[in-house]
Amino acid sequence: MPRAAWQGACMAEIVNLNRERKRRTRQAEARTAAQNRVVHGQPRAERLTLEQATLRRAALLDGARLDGARLQDSTQLESTGPIADLEGGADA
Give the tens place of pLDDT for each residue, 2-50: 555 556 567 889 999 999 999 999 999 999 999 888 778 878 898 899 8
At 47-90, the pLDDT tens digits run 899 899 999 999 998 888 877 655 555 555 555 555 555 555 55
Q: Determine if the pTM surpasses 0.75.
A: no
* Sign of the CA dihedral running 50, 51, 56, 58: positive
Give the residue among 28, 8, 27, 24 at the shortest CA–CA distance from 16: 24
| Class of residue 84 by CB neighbours under 10 A (exposed 0-12, middle 13-18, buried 19+) | middle
Domain ranges of the chain: 12-63
